Structure formats: structure tokens, C-alpha cells
């Protein structure tokens, strides 16, 4: 089916048909959809098909990140952007606080709807990230602890998932996976390695250093050297492609919602040093994000 035939088949008026046609042209140009041969028997019978990117938004796709996209587009998270000018003139920590009268974390703790869709968003992202780590970086977790999906892939690892008590309440572990309720600013259980997936960009440099110091305390208790494995963005202005634009947009998002930030390598190195770590290694394997191994 051609684009024209697709639009003509829709039960909508001419003006809306033109709108659909223009939308499809944008999606084609951005490689969200591609042209493909519909029938092997007729090479000229062309239609439209999903790309690897658009498949991630299919409802039945095992690694669907639809919950993540819906969370980013929810009015609770988009409305703070309309209060930037007001925020510049007040003492609130974020535009989110200016709009909603409380911090993101306070709001999430009191509003089940935000808490639920945010948890679903992070869960969908975790599945995608874990699939890449299992495929390309499973060596990072050899002889160490890991997270939920990785625990299934490497059954000889003993894994603990730490989160706020209300988040892990009622969750049942498995033979090699357990859940612990707590506050990462107060205490982290001893481990050979600690995985922080998209955690530190939520926090200021000062708070990130506090978290990393707790990580250093936890891995030092095992007497195996240990390491911290961080999944986060490394902003790279030298790339000059769409990746840097998206990274900078996420940096603005962290500013608007949680008073956090995305960091370049120099900024990451500084907080590692200030937290007492002596070395790190970057693995570029997750597109916009990277894996950083940090050593005490």
C-alpha cells in the first residue's frame, strides 16, 4: 500500500487525511518507518514497515519502551516547562516545584498515579538496558552482584535490589535474587559491585558524591576490591550529531524535574575523585548512554 492509498483508506475527512500524510512523511524522513516490498512476487508493490526504533513502541514487543515515552509526555512532567521564567525569579529548586508546589520525589511519594507510571517507565527502560548488558557486557558482572534481569541470565550470581521500602514491599525474590528496602544516602549492603542505572543524573554533584561514598563503603567491606558500574550519559559535544542534541535535552529535563544534570567526562571524573575513587573506564555500548566502571 502506498502512502496515498493508506491515507485514502482512513475513515477521516480530507483535511485530516492531509495531516496524516504530512505526519507519515516526517516519520519516513526520520527513519521511524521505511519503505519495504510487500510481496516477494511483486517487487514493485511497496508498503511501509517498522524500523528497529519504531518496533520498541509496539505494545507486544518484549522490549517495548512505550511506558517510558508515555511518562515523558504526561502533563505532570511537561507542564513544568511552562514555568521556566517564573522559576528563574523564585527560590524553588526546580520548575517542577514551581508548578506543583513540591519536589518530584515528594509528589511521587504522595500521588500513586505518578509513582506508578514512573515505575513502569523505569522498568521498561531497565529491560532494554539489561538486554544490551547481557548481550555485550556480561563480563562486567562476572564474580559480582547484578540486577534483576541479569540475575536471571547469570544464575550463579547473588543479587540484591535496593530501593525505597514502599517500592520493594511485597516483592518476592528468587534463589539468587533478593530485595532490600532502604535509603542509598544512608546505607548500602556490602557487595562486590554496585550497579547504578540512570541514578546519578537525578542528583546534584554534591548528592552524587554522597551516594558514591556510600557505594565505596559498601564495596570495601567485601575485601575484593570491588567496583561501581554506572549506566548514565556522558555528554560529548564533539560528536556533532543528533545524539548530543538529545543528551542536552535530557540535561534540561533533569534541571526542570529533579535538580539533576547530565555530565561530560571531565565532570564525571571530578565527582569520582571527590568521592574517593582512583580510576574509571568508559564503555560506549548504549547509544546515548555509556557504561562506566569506577574503581576505589
- Residues with catalytic roles: 201
β-pairing verdict for 227-233 and 289-295:
antiparallel
d(CA 193, CA 147): 10
d(CA 212, CA 200): 9
β-pairing verdict for 279-286 and 227-233:
unpaired
Which residue has cell 564533539? 238
d(CA 135, CA 150): 10
d(CA 102, CA 214): 27
**In Å, what is the CA distance from 236 to each residue of 246, 264, 290, 294?**
11, 6, 11, 19
DSSP 8-class letter at 198: S
Answer left, alpha or beta for residue 238, where phi above 0 means left and psi between -120 and 50 means alpha: alpha
d(CA 186, CA 175): 27
Cβ(58)–Cβ(50) below 8 Å: yes
3 state DSSP class of 130: helix
Cβ(107)–Cβ(96) below 8 Å: yes
d(CA 142, CA 289): 22
Q: Three cell numbers at 181?
A: 528496602
Which residue has cell 543479587? 159
Amino acid at each position: 500500500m502506498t502512502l496515498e492509498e493508506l491515507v485514502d483508506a482512513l475513515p477521516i475527512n480530507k483535511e485530516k487525511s492531509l495531516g496524516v500524510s504530512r505526519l507519515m512523511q516526517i516519520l519516513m524522513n526520520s527513519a521511524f518507518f521505511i519503505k519495504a516490498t510487500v510481496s516477494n512476487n511483486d517487487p514493485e508493490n511497496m508498503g511501509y514497515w517498522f524500523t528497529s526504533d519504531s518496533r520498541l513502541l509496539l505494545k507486544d514487543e518484549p522490549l517495548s519502551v512505550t511506558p517510558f515515552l508515555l511518562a515523558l509526555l504526561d502533563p505532570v512532567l511537561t507542564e513544568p516547562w511552562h514555568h521556566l521564567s517564573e522559576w528563574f525569579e523564585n527560590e524553588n529548586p526546580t520548575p517542577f516545584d514551581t508548578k506543583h508546589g513540591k519536589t518530584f520525589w515528594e509528589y511521587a511519594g504522595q500521588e500513586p498515579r505518578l509513582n506508578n507510571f514512573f515505575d513502569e517507565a523505569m522498568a521498561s527502560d531497565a529491560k532494554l538496558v539489561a538486554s544490551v548488558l547481557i548481550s555485550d557486557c556480561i563480563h562486567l558482572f562476572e564474580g559480582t552482584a547484578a540486577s534483576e534481569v541479569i540475575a536471571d541470565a547469570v544464575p550463579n550470581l547473588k543479587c540484591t535490589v535496593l530501593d525505597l521500602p514502599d517500592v520493594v514491599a511485597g516483592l518476592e525474590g528468587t534463589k539468587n535474587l533478593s530485595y532490600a528496602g532502604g535509603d542509598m544516602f544512608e546505607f548500602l549492603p556490602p557487595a562486590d559491585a554496585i550497579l547504578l542505572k540512570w541514578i546519578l543524573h537525578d542528583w546534584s554533584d554534591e548528592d552524587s558524591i554522597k551516594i558514591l561514598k556510600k557505594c565505596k563503603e559498601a564495596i570495601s567491606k567485601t575485601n575484593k576490591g570491588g567496583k561501581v558500574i554506572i549506566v548514565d550519559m556522558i555528554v560529548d559535544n564533539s560528536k556533532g550529531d543528533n545524539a548530543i542534541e538529545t543528551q542536552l535535552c535530557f540535561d534540561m529535563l533533569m534541571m526542570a524535574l529533579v535538580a539533576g544534570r547530565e555530565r561530560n567526562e571531565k565532570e564525571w571524573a571530578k565527582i569520582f575523585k571527590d568521592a574517593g575513587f582512583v580510576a574509571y573506564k568508559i564503555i560506549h555500548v548504549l547509544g546515548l548512554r555509556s557504561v562506566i566502571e569506577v574503581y576505589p
